[in-house]
Chains A and B, each alone.
Chain A
Amino acid sequence: MSDHAQHGPGGHGKDHVPHILPLSTYFKTWGALMVLTVITVGASYLNFGPGNLVLAMLIATAKAATVALVFMHLYYDHKFHGVIFVSSLVFLGIFIAFTMFDTETRGRAEAMEGEHPANIKDPFGGTASEAAAKAKLKPAAAPAHH
């Protein structure tokens, strides 16, 4: 890595010098990934309820981080490449979370509107609590007495 700094300005002559990791690093990484795979398959036979998903995702993330840091050389690479990678995961998290804010809460507004229907001719005329208060004062008066 120290060789990176030795290149003078405009130097086309100096060669790129690779940063070579020892073989043992690769084999240990591989071993860790194999063990984690066996653990995650084993854990799927036990029932932790919702914990199964959490555990599986934690193990998957540990494996993904190992691959990214060692096999993809992020640990030894420019920090900026790691920033690019991690920022994509952050935005992916925002994407999934904000989509689920919608899909997980669909149908709630409809139920509230069923109880307190909005006045289409005067949509901003009153708050939900006002509508609720009015509804309590005159319980279904108008249609019943016709």
Chain B
Amino acid sequence: MSAPAEIVEGQPSAERGSPQFEVAHHFDSADTQFDAGRMGVWLFLVTEILLFGGLFCTFAVFRSWYFEDFVEAHHHLNKVMGGANTLVLIGSSLTMALAVRAAQMTDKKQTTRMLVITLLCAATFLVVKYFEYSAKFEHGLLPGAYFHGEGFQGTHAGVFFAIYFLMTGVHGLHVLIGMGLITWMLIRNLRGDFSSRYYAPVENVGLYWHLVDLVWIYLFPLLYLVG
């Protein structure tokens, strides 16, 4: 298909990119190793889905119990900021996917560029989140017993904000962890670790990053749009 496929066995790997990469002895081939790693990451993503699943379940139960209170409370979230963050996160998913593509093509410069843009998007997301949180703190829109917002008809707005802070907080933590992983990929890329022969870490960090995006794709409409 592409050039690397025709490279003869035994050629020094330095000339093929990813000089430090060797197929581990217990793997049949580079493909087997690559697929095994990716399947492991998919299994990990399943545990992530179940972690967030518990929170989504909590949201579903309490929304159904205190429907009016939830609808009232959700109007205090900033749709514009949430929407902007959605666009930022989708943009970062694109650049992450393009970073993987560049790594697949042994385009080190482009990989670096795309990873840096992804990091900047992630940072933008957290900065917007910071402004949103500060506004909530200012107006006493705090979780559970700490809630002292004024002008609420219902008595369960605190439950909504408890769930809001828990869900966006756990998601924000994932964004932070994702930023750490992307920085790690950036360092390894600058070191010249990746090429079309070996880009599994970039792809797998990419999968994690897309999952963080997936969770937000559900969080945003549930919390900000329909309450």
Contacts and interface: CB of A to CB of B under 8 A. Distances in A.
Nearest to A91: B50
Find the residue from B53, B90, B104 having the highest chain A CB count within 10 A: B90
Interface string B64-78: 110000000000000
Contacts of A104: 64
Interface in B85-123: 86-87, 90-91, 93-94, 96-98, 101, 104-105
B86 A37 contact: yes
A100 interface: yes
A81 B197 CA distance: 21
B181 interface: no
B210 interface: yes
A104 B62 CA distance: 10
A10 interface: yes
Given A14-B30, A67-B210, A37 B90 contact: yes
A6 B81 CA distance: 50
B60 A78 contact: no
B31 interface: yes
A18 B29 contact: no
Contact of A16 (B42, B43, B197, B220): B197
A99 B103 CA distance: 44
Contact of B225 (A12, A15, A41): A41
B61 A100 contact: yes
B210 A71 contact: yes
B57 A72 contact: no
B42 A34 contact: no
A131 interface: no
Interface residues on B, range: 35 or more
A19 to B, nearest CB: 8
Interface of B: 1-2, 4-5, 7, 9-10, 16, 23, 28-31, 33-35, 38-39, 42-43, 45-46, 49-50, 53-54, 56-57, 60-61, 64-65, 79, 83, 86-87, 90-91, 93-94, 96-98, 101, 104-105, 196-199, 203, 206-207, 210-211, 213-214, 217-218, 220-222, 224-226
27 contacts: A3-B1, A11-B29, A14-B29, A14-B30, A15-B5, A15-B197, A16-B33, A23-B98, A30-B90, A30-B91, A40-B221, A44-B226, A52-B225, A53-B226, A56-B221, A56-B225, A60-B221, A64-B214, A64-B217, A67-B217, A71-B206, A71-B213, A78-B35, A92-B50, A99-B60, A100-B60, A103-B65
Interface of A: 2-4, 7, 9-18, 20-21, 23, 26-27, 29-30, 33-34, 37, 40-41, 43-44, 52-53, 56-57, 59-60, 63-64, 67-68, 70-73, 77-78, 80-81, 84-85, 87-89, 91-92, 95-96, 99-100, 103-104
